[in-house]
């Protein structure tokens, strides 16, 4: 008989606890998550989505664009917001319902991005929370901002 496999959540460092419920959140509460944009993340994102636009991978091509060089996928930064919601704040069990976003500046390979989510509004009876979301690079430049709605865990 084979030994049971370890759950993937332990292998990947996925939290097993439940996140904050709507009753534990307050308007003005916020959290941050920082992550470096590396070639590995860029490659994994392209593999997962199929987006191999040369502006992300071909320096000679990208130099001729308005960016003047390679840039990361803008949507990759939104993925970091999703990681903040799902892993930290409100945390495990959170359902990401929607995201309105404005891309304000390019994200470069090697940038360290800090995503921030701040509670703006709560609809208790529907278990919905509205967040202001921002993403800044290591120089403090806001590269994207927006509004997100999530459904926090009920456990």
pLDDT digits (tens, 9 = 90+) for 84-122: 999 999 999 999 999 999 999 999 999 999 999 999 999
Which pTM does this prediction carry? 0.86
3-class DSSP string for the chain: CCCCCCCHHHHCCCCCCCCCCHHHCCCCCEEEEEEECCHHHHHHHHHHHCCCCHHHHCHHHHHCCCCCCCCCCHHHHHHHHHHHHHHHCCCCCCEEEEEEEEECCCCCCCCEEEEEEEEEEEEHHHCEEEEEEEEECCCCCEEEEEEEEEECCCC
Whole-number percent of the chain with pLDDT over 70: 89
Statement: residue 33 has pLDDT above 50: yes
pLDDT reported for residue 3 = 46
pLDDT-derived band at 12 (thresholds 50, 70, 90) equals low
- pLDDT, average across residues 43-59: 96
The dotted CATH code for 28-151 is: 3.10.129.10
- pLDDT, average across residues 120-135: 97
């Amino acid at each position: 008989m084979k030994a049971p496999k370890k759950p993937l959540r332990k292998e990947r460092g996925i939290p097993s606890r439940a996140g904050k419920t709507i009753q534990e959140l307050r308007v003005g509460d916020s959290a941050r998550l920082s992550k470096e944009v590396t070639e590995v993340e860029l490659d994994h994102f392209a593999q997962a989505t199929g987006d191999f636009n040369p502006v992300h991978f071909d320096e000679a091509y990208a130099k001729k664009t308005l960016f003047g060089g390679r840039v990361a996928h803008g949507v990759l930064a939104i993925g970091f917001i999703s990681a903040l919601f799902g892993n930290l704040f409100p945390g495990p069990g959170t359902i990401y319902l929607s995201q309105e976003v404005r891309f304000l500046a390019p994200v470069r390979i090697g940038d360290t991005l800090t995503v921030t989510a701040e509670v703006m509004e709560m609809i208790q009876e529907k278990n919905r929370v509205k967040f202001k979301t921002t993403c800044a690079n290591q120089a403090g430049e806001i590269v994207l901002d927006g509004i997100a709605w999530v459904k926090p865990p009920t456990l």
